[in-house]
Structure 1
Amino acid sequence: MSGLPHSPHALVTGGGRGIGRAIAAALVGAGATVTIVGRNSAVLEEAVNAGAAHFAAVADVSDEASLKAAISEASARKPIDILIANAGSAESAPFVKSDSALFARMMDINFMGVVHAIHGVLPGMKDRPYGRIVVIASTAGLKGYAYVSAYTAAKHAAVGLVRSLALELAGSNVTVNAVCPGFTDTDLVAGSIENIMTKTGRSREQAIAELAKHNPQGRLIAPQEVADSVLWLCGQGASAITGQAIAVAGGEI
């Protein structure tokens, strides 16, 4: 399998923890220069100090100006060859209690955050001989789940964007793909576990089992498993893979 070209510059949104941090660390290990972006400077600095990334920039992906400034700062250091649009957030509620503000939050972070990031890197990326855009979506971008209609709608939008943009860029050296993890052992899923425990009175083990039952393998996905899929898509050997939404979910979907 062909690896990364010589020392590409990768930008990972939401790279301070969870899946984003695992991806950033995998890219560092493969020889990339990695800049992580997130809202919490302390979390970002800890990741850099631990060797999971080289540089960090504070930005909110839902704020176009904020993210544009972070991308400009990173690009001035070195042109960006790889974008991992990973930042995301999930909130659960029955549809009848999911008001317009909830839908707006989920779209702003999970969809418009992807749009802002791609807008920030694509003009320069198209002019170079290699480019990779990988959106970290979710199995919620491929199917429905009850009580997360706003999140699911936003992730479907992100997958649709990937499929359309891949066709626009098919004549270039830039590929665009989505990786769609099932429930993954991260801080985000830990919040879902706490929510289940609070609302149902179930134990932590029962709450984890409630999420893991969606995976035919009967477990949560490890962040490193998602990172391995992303690393493959970023490799030179994956140049014919574009417009795909790859589930990392133990057979779910």
Structure 2
Amino acid sequence: MSLNGKHALVTGGGTGIGLAIARALAEQGAVVTITGRRKSVLDDVAGDGLFALQMDVADEASVVDGVAAAVAARGPVQICVANAGIAEGKALFKTDLDWWRNMMAINVDGVFLTIRECLKSMHQTDWGRVMAISSIAGLRGLQGAPCYSATKHAVNGMIKSLAADYARKPITFNSICPAYVETPIIDQNVESIMARTGMSQEEALKVMVGVNPHGRLITPDEVAAAALYICGPNSDSIRGQMVQVSGGEV
């Protein structure tokens, strides 16, 4: 497999799943723009085919200007990975509107804006791959996280609709839906569960690991392997799919 010369843009590309996907794409020859709000984090991992671009997916002007700058520097985006997001749980009756809107702005608006702007240059090419990093929470309700689950259902619905719109065009749209992945978000969620329930750190971690049927956290590289598959040879018929990387979740 070779992605030589193809420009990929990965939001939230400085850590976790985004960084794993960015590195995997670069190893196959792609030139990869990694974006995020913290420039220092991006700069720490840039190089070897990864180019840092500070961008806030919840800010329309930032996305419009950022993607335009990436296209000007490295050509049309042919692989768009809308990965940036936040994962937090909160009981609905404790959720105020500002908290709800912030999660929607990042997890839903951010995906919409990223895909919209990348498509502007992707339309100039004869091949494209668009992926949203969703979650198993977008396929079923995740206990204790109604807002987060709503955002991921929205993302999956967007991807399905786009796949239908582009069914006869050389651009594919898919979601990747992991269960709990070994990323810094896990540490944040462990602290949140401990604060809400009084559990120990070990007990809180077991709650998340227990969601994965195979009994362990998924690695970011396993999610990256799914992204490479969607970009790989004979992948044109993979369209509108919610690709689960979930350790046997059915």
Fold shared, TM-score > 0.5 on shorter chain? yes
Q: Scaled by the length of structure 1, what TM-score is found?
A: 0.95
Extract unaligned runs of 5+ from structure 2.
none
Q: 1:37 maps to what in 2?
A: 35
Partner SS state of residue 236, structure 1: coil
Partner residue, 1:225: 222
CA distance in 2, matches of 1:204, 1:99: 27
Q: Distance in 2 between matches of 1:80 and 1:192?
A: 33
1:149-228 superposed matches below 5 A: 149-228=146-225
1:202-248, CA deviations, whole angstroms, 9 ceiling, x for partnerless residues? 33222211101111101111100000000110123211101000110
Task: Find the aligned partners of 2:3 and 2:53 in 1 and give their Cα distance.
Answer: 24
Are the aligned partners of 1:10 and 1:34 in contact in 2 as well (CA < 8 Å)? yes
Distance 1:87 1:37 in 2: 9
Counterpart residue number, 2:66: 70
SS of the counterpart of 2:66? helix
| 1:9-32, Cα deviation, whole Å (9 max, x unpaired) | 100000000000000010011110
CA distance in 2 between counterparts of 1:34 and 1:148 reads 32
Aligned to 2:12: 14
AA aligned to 2:76 is: P
Partner deviation per Cα, 1:77-114 (whole Å, 9 max, x = no partner)? 22111000000002221111112222211111111101
TM-superposed CA distance for 1:250, in Å, is 0.3
The answer to whether the Cα contact below 8 Å between 1:4 and 1:234 also exists between their aligned partners in 2 is: no
CA distance in 2, matches of 1:127, 1:240: 21
Report the alpha carbon displacement of residue 201 of structure 1 after superposing the two structures with TM. Answer: 3.0
**Corresponding residue for residue 251 of structure 1:** 248
Counterpart Cα distance in 2 of 1:68 and 1:60: 10
Q: TM-score by structure 2 length?
A: 0.96
C-alpha offsets along residues 26-70 of structure 1, whole Å, 9 cap, x if unaligned? 001111000001000000001104x4x521111110101101111
C-alpha distance in structure 1 between counterparts of 2:144 and 2:17, whole Å: 23
- Runs of 4+ residues over 2 Å off in structure 1: 3-7, 197-205
SS across alignment from 1:238:
coil
Q: Given that residues 23 and 50 in structure 2 are in contact (C-alpha distance below 8 angstroms), is that contact kept between their aligned partners in structure 1?
A: no
| Most deviating of 175-184 and 227-236 | 227-236
Whether 1:84 and 2:81 are equivalent positions in the alignment is yes
CA distance in 2, matches of 1:54, 1:154: 28
Structure 1: segments with no counterpart, 5+ residues: none
Deviates more, 1:130-139 or 1:230-239: 230-239
Q: Which residue of 2 aligns with 1:142?
A: 139
Offset at residue 5 of structure 1 (A):
4.0
- Provide the identity percentage: 42
**2:53: which partner in 1?**
57
Amino acid at match of 1:101: D
Count of matched residue pairs: 249
Contact 1:126 1:172 in 2 (8 A): no
